[in-house]
């Protein structure tokens, strides 16, 4: 740790339910630093159980930022997060050479580590028109439109994620150019050195952990939490696994049991997409999720 002039961003990535929060806390406590969450679902103060927000004990164990800091009624995108996260890091680095970034949202992790691509402004009427079409015609409409307007991005985006497709479509329509044409053009410089730690597990182990976590969420009041949000079910922030399935239950389309099984199934699919994204990330050192934190700390200190 002789590089006192250098700043390091220890980044913990991996699929949902793999143990990223616990590992991030161990690292933050060892390096006496603070944690930035890059889990886009945990930003929202109204979504607690269904997004696996860290417990009060976990939040008290190390200072956290970007946990339940905005409302589902706020407009907040990855560009906003990049700006806010970099500003927070600039502040933290005046006191400490280390910070921890943790989360399962690959796009948000990339925005902090590498910089966000420079996209054109989007007309609000275009955004609303896309939302209206999605609400009327469903996710199939988004998939067909994106495939037509930008087949390159369509081949790489998570086509089960309506927010990602709506974002790409609004850029396509507003600019008249494919969304993919704006990618990887401009990257912002970073004043820190990233050290990226990936947590992984055998697929069956990962799936068992996901199923168990969903059961815990249900026991802790997920259905009641979703019920309180049901009147606002069309908000973008609520178009996510764990809430969408329960909204279908409240609509009478699913039984409660089927909705819970759908949450498990869709969370497993989400985890698989997360791993596909993260396996493409450069410079990741992967560890089994059961690895002793001291082994990971030793790797980090040897990397400095």
- Determine the length of the chain: 304
pLDDT at 31 over 60: yes
**CATH 3.40.50.300 boundaries in the chain:** 8-116+188-303
Question: Global pTM?
Answer: 0.80
Q: Is 14 annotated as a binding residue?
A: yes
Q: Is 51 annotated as a binding residue?
A: no
The rounded distance, in Å, linking the Cα atoms of 114 and 153 is 19
pLDDT given at position 187: 60
The rounded distance, in Å, linking the Cα atoms of 182 and 172 is 10
Q: Is 114 annotated as a binding residue?
A: no
Alpha helices, DSSP H only, in 176-255?
A: 203-219, 222-229, 244-251
pLDDT given at position 2: 41
- Counting residues of the chain whose pLDDT is more than 90, the rounded percentage is 71
pLDDT at 247 over 70: yes
Fold of 8-116+188-303: Rossmann fold (3.40.50)
pLDDT digits (tens, 9 = 90+) for 189-226: 899 999 999 999 999 999 999 999 999 999 999 999 99
Q: Is 20 annotated as a binding residue?
A: yes
pLDDT digits (tens, 9 = 90+) for 38-60: 999 999 999 999 999 999 999 99
Q: Is 168 annotated as a binding residue?
A: no
Q: Which CATH class is domain 124-182?
A: mainly alpha
pLDDT band at residue 156 using 50, 70 and 90 as cut-offs: confident
pLDDT given at position 1: 41
Mean pLDDT of 261-273: 95
pLDDT given at position 186: 56
pLDDT digits (tens, 9 = 90+) for 157-185: 888 888 889 989 999 988 888 888 877 66
**CATH 1.10.20.140 boundaries in the chain:** 124-182
- The mean-pLDDT minimum among 28-32, 263-267, 270-274 falls in 270-274
- Long-range contacts of range 158-166, CB-CB < 8 Å, 24 or more positions apart? 158/273, 160/269, 160/273, 162/134, 162/239, 163/236, 163/239, 164/107, 165/139, 166/127, 166/130, 166/131, 166/134, 166/142, 166/236
């Amino acid at each position: 740790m002789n590089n006192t002039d250098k700043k390091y961003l220890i980044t913990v990535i991996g699929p949902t339910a793999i143990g990223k929060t616990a590992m991030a806390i161990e690292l933050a406590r060892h390096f006496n630093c603070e944690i930035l969450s890059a889990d886009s679902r945990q930003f929202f103060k109204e979504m607690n159980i269904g997004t696996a927000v860290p417990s009060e004990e976990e939040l008290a164990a190390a200072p956290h930022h970007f946990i339940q800091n905005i409302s589902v009624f706020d407009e907040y995108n990855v560009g906003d997060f990049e700006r806010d996260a970099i500003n927070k890091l600039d502040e933290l680095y005046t006191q400490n050479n280390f910070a921890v970034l943790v989360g399962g949202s690959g796009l948000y992790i990339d925005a902090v580590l590498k910089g966000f691509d420079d996209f054109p402004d989007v007309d609000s009427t275009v955004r609303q028109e896309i939302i209206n079409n999605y609400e009327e015609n469903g996710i199939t409409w988004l998939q067909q439109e994106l495939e037509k307007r930008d087949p390159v991005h369509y081949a790489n985006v998570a086509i089960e994620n309506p927010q990602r497709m709506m974002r790409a479509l609004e850029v396509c329509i507003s600019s008249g150019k494919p969304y993919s044409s704006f990618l990887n053009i401009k990257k912002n410089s970073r004043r820190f050195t990233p050290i990226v730690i990936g947590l992984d597990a055998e697929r069956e182990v990962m799936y068992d952990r996901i199923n168990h976590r969903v059961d815990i969420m249900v026991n802790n009041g997920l259905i009641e939490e979703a019920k309180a949000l049901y009147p606002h079910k069309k908000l973008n922030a609520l178009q996510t696994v764990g809430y969408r399935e329960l909204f279908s239950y409240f609509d009478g389309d699913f039984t409660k049991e089927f909705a819970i099984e759908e949450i498990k199934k869709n969370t497993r699919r989400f985890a698989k997409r997360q791993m596909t994204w993260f396996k493409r990330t450069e410079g990741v050192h992967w560890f089994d999720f059961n690895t002793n934190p001291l082994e990971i700390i030793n790797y980090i200190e040897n990397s400095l």
